[in-house]
A and B are shown apart, each in its own frame.
Chain A
């Protein structure tokens, strides 16, 4: 079961902090982060990639769904 981190309505660095904690927690698992602004999308993507993860971004209405995996 993959973890969902809901960061909608939060502005950076909060989404990055939450995503980092989740990545560290779920070392081997996949993870979904939902953000509601482009800044958070870009920052979480950059952070996850810097931590050696792959990121797939999907637009979901007004939000962005980031699938983070090893």
Chain B
């Protein structure tokens, strides 16, 4: 009961902070968007040159550092990794590809729904479909293999990168890009964005909040624990938007969104399936990075690489829609995801462990 209350509180805080961040300067319906913000960071570092989406988003830095400090405090920080790193990098890329077709990670999908963007309601069933497809692989024994304990420096890499990004943001050297127009130029004050990231990082580390796990556990186990957090984000953001006049229902002219229903739906199918195979939504990957999991860090780096790829080759969606090349990316992504899923189905470990038990 206490756990359930805690995850509802965590989801509520995420929803509330998202509304406040938009009121204070973040792009509309983008209080939090992990995919967009990682894309903005990739742009800020000059990995892509889409001038309207370049900014070292402090929310991301805060999420990693909040989870890191909390994990240290509760003694859950542990440097692990080595479980199919190349495939995890690819899954990060594909997760980003799908998100940049839809224009948002699952968290922003929920926030867009709460802001009255009906296009996000079209994307939601696509996301659920993707997660469901992922559970089919899990039920058949999909696994990326076991992670190993690693030297602590592997675990500190993620939080260290976050600190370096914060220094670069504060020092603002000439080689860091800052958008002068577009979504990248819209941001709430640093103390607020960094603080919001830290708070959510702490709460998400403790509650294991995950927008993919929410749907996955419902489908796999009829366990609605994580879903409570997911629902709380929506309900609180919706109420907040209604109270602050930010609830503007409709399909057309939604902020940082397009009307292309097929690609909104299928883009999120890619995200859902990739997230199941990678073991967590984009936000959860940041939290796990803070806990010392280099497998999650490599997924996050894959997301950064995916963002650069999508923007450098003009594949990302835009308010004008999804270009034909971007549409091909969705199809190619789904094919690659099915290959990764099918190629990693292994016999359950039960037989092996039984043998081991008998031997011992």
Contact = CB atoms under 8 A, between A and B. Distances in A.
A4 B357 contact: yes
Interface string B123-143: 000000000000000110001
Contacts, number: 74
A49 to B, nearest CB: 11
Interface residues of A, number: 30
Contact of A1 (B149, B223, B352, B357): B357
Interface of B: 3, 74, 76, 78, 80, 83, 138-139, 143, 145-149, 208, 213, 216-217, 220-221, 223, 225, 279, 295, 348-350, 352-354, 356-358, 360
Interface string A27-38: 000000000111
Contacts of A58: none
A3 B353 contact: yes
A42 to B, nearest CB: 8
B223 A38 contact: no
B221 A16 contact: yes
A47 interface: yes
A8 B78 CA distance: 13
28 contacts: A1-B358, A2-B357, A4-B353, A4-B360, A5-B353, A6-B353, A7-B349, A9-B80, A9-B83, A9-B145, A9-B147, A9-B148, A10-B147, A11-B279, A13-B138, A13-B221, A14-B138, A17-B138, A18-B348, A18-B350, A20-B221, A22-B350, A25-B350, A36-B149, A37-B78, A42-B208, A47-B221, A50-B223
Given A8-B146, A13-B138, A17-B220, A3 B354 contact: yes
A10 B208 CA distance: 16
A39 B208 contact: yes
A41 to B, nearest CB: 10
A23 to B, nearest CB: 12
A5 B350 contact: yes
Contacts of B354: 3-4
Given A11-B279, A13-B138, A21-B348, A6 B147 contact: no
A62 interface: yes
A22 B138 CA distance: 16
A48 to B, nearest CB: 12
B350 A10 contact: no
A29 B308 CA distance: 53
Given A4-B356, A9-B83, A14 B76 contact: no
A46 interface: yes
Given A11-B147, A39-B208, A47 B356 contact: no
B208 to A, nearest CB: 6
Nearest to B148: A9
Given A3-B353, A38-B76, A13 B216 contact: yes
Contacts of B360: 4
B154 to A, nearest CB: 14
A8 B148 CA distance: 9
Given A13-B217, A17-B138, A6 B148 contact: no
A2 B356 CA distance: 12
Contacts of A46: 3, 223, 225
